[in-house]
């Protein structure tokens, strides 16, 4: 039987040894925060909403497929792609982005999941030669002890991080532009599809609330 399952893939770059894939994990904001469009972890009725994001997956199968494949994943905010596309469109020589997150319930050792993402562009290598693949995307997965901050956030407890897997993919200018363009285009289409419905829903609720207040 033909497999007709819907795939969340938005954009992909693949060689005979590496893969870089972006997947749809976008989620609409609660109607109470309709102007956000994307869910940002807002707290509504005691429950926090999820965060809207694009998932990134890197795979390294240079040592083989199956259980020999090294796979890592992380999430990026939708805004990253418009920013990165603007830098690519300007033809910047240097680009550097780094982000790390700790999340999820602790395991038996008290450690939670950690993702680290590094995206850089350097047109010239340490040897002074021009690079044909100036973009380098690195994703690292690991675990660490989650520790609260004075401002209410969380971070990794110093010295507790344990690296598990890391994959890097080198990409040329055209393919990196293509990845950013395709993903940004999809995000824009998603916003135009989901945003109007959420805005109309919020407007209807506000009109009903205003009418109720006038009657009272």
Q: What is the mean pLDDT of residues 133-151?
A: 92
Q: Residue 47: its pLDDT value, please?
A: 83
Residues facing residue 25 across a β-bridge: 53
Token pair 């690195």 is found at 138
**Residue 1 pLDDT greater than 60, yes or no:** no
pLDDT tens per residue, range 169-209: 999 999 999 999 999 999 999 999 999 999 999 999 998 88
Q: Residue 216: its pLDDT value, please?
A: 66
pLDDT tens per residue, range 101-114: 999 888 999 999 99
**Residue 214 pLDDT greater than 90, yes or no:** no
Q: State whether residue 36 is helix, strand or coil.
A: helix
Q: Classify residue 158 by its DSSP letter.
A: T
pLDDT tens per residue, range 16-69: 999 999 999 999 999 999 999 999 999 888 788 899 999 999 999 999 888 899
Alpha-carbon distance 207 to 215, whole Å? Answer: 12
Residues present in the chain in total: 216
Helices 78-90 and 173-215 sit at what angle, rounded to 10 degrees? 140
- The pLDDT-based confidence of 83 (bands split at 50, 70, 90) is very high
Within 10 A of 12 (CB to CB), how many other CB atoms are there? 14
CA dist 84 → 48, 78, 94, 172, 204 (Å) = 29, 11, 12, 14, 36
Could you tell me the pTM of the whole model?
0.90
The half-sphere exposure of 154 on its side-chain side, counting CA atoms within 13 A, is: 15
């Amino acid at each position: 039987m033909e497999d007709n399952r819907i795939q969340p893939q938005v954009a992909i770059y693949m060689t005979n040894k590496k893969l870089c894939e972006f997947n749809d994990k976008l989620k609409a904001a609660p109607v109470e925060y309709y102007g956000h469009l994307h869910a940002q972890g807002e707290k509504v009725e005691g429950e926090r909403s999820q965060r809207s994001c694009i998932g990134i997956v890197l795979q390294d199968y240079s040592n083989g497929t199956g259980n020999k494949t090294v796979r890592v994943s992380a999430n990026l905010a939708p805004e990253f792609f418009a920013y990165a596309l603007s830098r690519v469109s300007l033809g910047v020589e240097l680009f550097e982005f780094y982000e790390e997150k700790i999340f999820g319930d602790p395991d038996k050792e008290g450690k939670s999941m950690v993702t680290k993402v590094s995206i850089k562009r350097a047109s010239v290598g340490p040897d002074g030669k021009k690079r044909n693949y100036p973009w380098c995307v690195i994703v690292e997965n690991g675990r660490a002890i989650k520790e609260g901050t004075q401002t209410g956030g969380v971070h990794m407890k110093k010295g507790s991080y344990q690296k598990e897997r890391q994959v890097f993919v080198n990409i040329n200018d055209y393919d990196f532009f293509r990845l950013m363009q395709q993903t940004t285009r999809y995000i824009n289409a998603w916003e135009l599809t989901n945003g109007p419905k959420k805005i109309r829903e919020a407007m209807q609720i506000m009109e009903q609330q205003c009418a109720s207040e006038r009657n009272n």
